Amino acid sequence: AVAERIGYPVLIKAANGGGGIGMEVAASADKLLKAIGRCRSRSERAFGSSVVYLERYLTAPRHIEIQVLFDAHGNGVSLFERECSIQRRHQKLVEEAPSVVMPRFPGLRERMGEAAVALGRAVGYVGVGTVEFLVDTDGAFYFMEMNTRLQVEHPVTECVTGLDLPGWQLRVANGEALRFDAPPAIGGHAIEVRLCAEDPSKGFFPQPGQVTALEWPPGPGVRVDSGIVLGSTVAPFYDSLLAKLIVSGATRAEAIGRLQAALAATRIEGVVTNLEFHRWLAAHPAFLAGELSTGFVDEHWGK
């Protein structure tokens, strides 16, 4: 009955899970019960709970999230959006701020920011957090979840706002009040790519190994947050993320130019990575045009 009310296709998700694990799409009623069964089974194995829920499945949405910051004195602000639509297995590979979709729908940034702040206030949230949405092709947006923590992609927000988000997490946890009632203006554009030990030619399957050569790119507007050094052993037991390469510029075009140069200058050997995938992406016409959706990789990669 819920699926009929929401309308097909529907997405079945683990209520106690995350990371895209166990998600199933059902395009019609005759496929719904089997899809729920598969999702329940995977959820039980991965998260110890078979509880699932349904939501409307959007066929070509953008994944847009709003960074929020709240103190313990009732103050809260939106620190604008991040575009996280380039994904594999429903997990992010590239994030940028601001999103190119915002100018296409006047007032969208403000409405999404207000919704994110309202959610945080409703639960009495204190700290840095992220409210995640899907934005449909008509500009309508839908709440997915809130991550009550700093996220991997927080550096792009730091680049365009000038704020130290880990620093503010510590300040508000220590009882300090926000020093502003409105966020700084957006300054420039920033892009982050996740460099992972995985093989894009084999479905982005994780690839353990040992780092035998390592070079990070120099240059202005380039930041590397790395979890590896020369000689590091990449085990198969953990997340495949090795490092984050973050670039910024006055415009999106400048940021992309710096990204292309930085990726060309990066060297990781001894372990298979998605470095070549990111080089491909940074030059792809659809990416350059900002024509993004969560189906981008499935639509373009390997075609």
258 catalytic per annotation: no
CA 198 to chain centre: 18
Q: Which residues contact 2 (CB under 8 A, 6 or more apart)?
A: 54
Annotate 243-266 with b (16+ C-beta within 10 A) or e (fewer).
bbbbbbbeebeebbebbebbbeeb
> According to the model, what pLDDT value does residue 302 have?
86
> According to the model, what pLDDT value does residue 115 have?
98
- The CA–CA distances, whole Å, from 261 to 3, 95, 150 equal 47, 18, 28
Provide the token pair at 267: 């060297």
Torsion, Cα of 30, 44, 63, 164 (10° steps): 170
Cβ atoms of residues 64 and 135 within 8 Å:
yes
Say how far apart CA 88 and CA 231 lie, in whole Å: 28
Stretches in the chain below the pLDDT threshold 70: none
Provide the token pair at 98: 């601001």
Peptide bond into 103 cis (omega under 30): no
| Cα angle 98, 103, 107; round to 5 | 100
Name the 3-class secondary structure at 161: helix
- The CA–CA distances, whole Å, from 112 to 109, 154, 222 equal 5, 18, 29
Positive/negative CA dihedral, 201, 288, 303, 299 = positive
Cβ atoms of residues 56 and 6 within 8 Å:
yes
Positive/negative CA dihedral, 209, 42, 3, 15 = negative
Closest by alpha carbon to 191, among 100, 293, 286, 291?
Answer: 100
- The CA–CA distances, whole Å, from 161 to 43, 182, 218, 221, 222 equal 38, 11, 23, 14, 16
Q: pTM for the whole thing?
A: 0.90
> According to the model, what pLDDT value does residue 67 have?
98
Q: Which of 149, 194, 223, 267 is catalytic?
A: 149
Name the 3-class secondary structure at 176: coil
> According to the model, what pLDDT value does residue 20 have?
78
Largest pairwise CA distance in the chain: 57
Say how far apart CA 234 and CA 106 lie, in whole Å: 45
Over residues 153-175, the pLDDT tens digits come to 999 999 999 999 999 999 999 99
Annotate 84-122 with b (16+ C-beta within 10 A) or e (fewer).
bbbbbeebbbbbbbbbebbeeeeebbeebbebbbebbee
> According to the model, what pLDDT value does residue 21 have?
85
Closest by alpha carbon to 294, among 145, 146, 137, 107?
Answer: 137
Cβ atoms of residues 255 and 245 within 8 Å:
no
Say how far apart CA 199 and CA 298 lie, in whole Å: 15
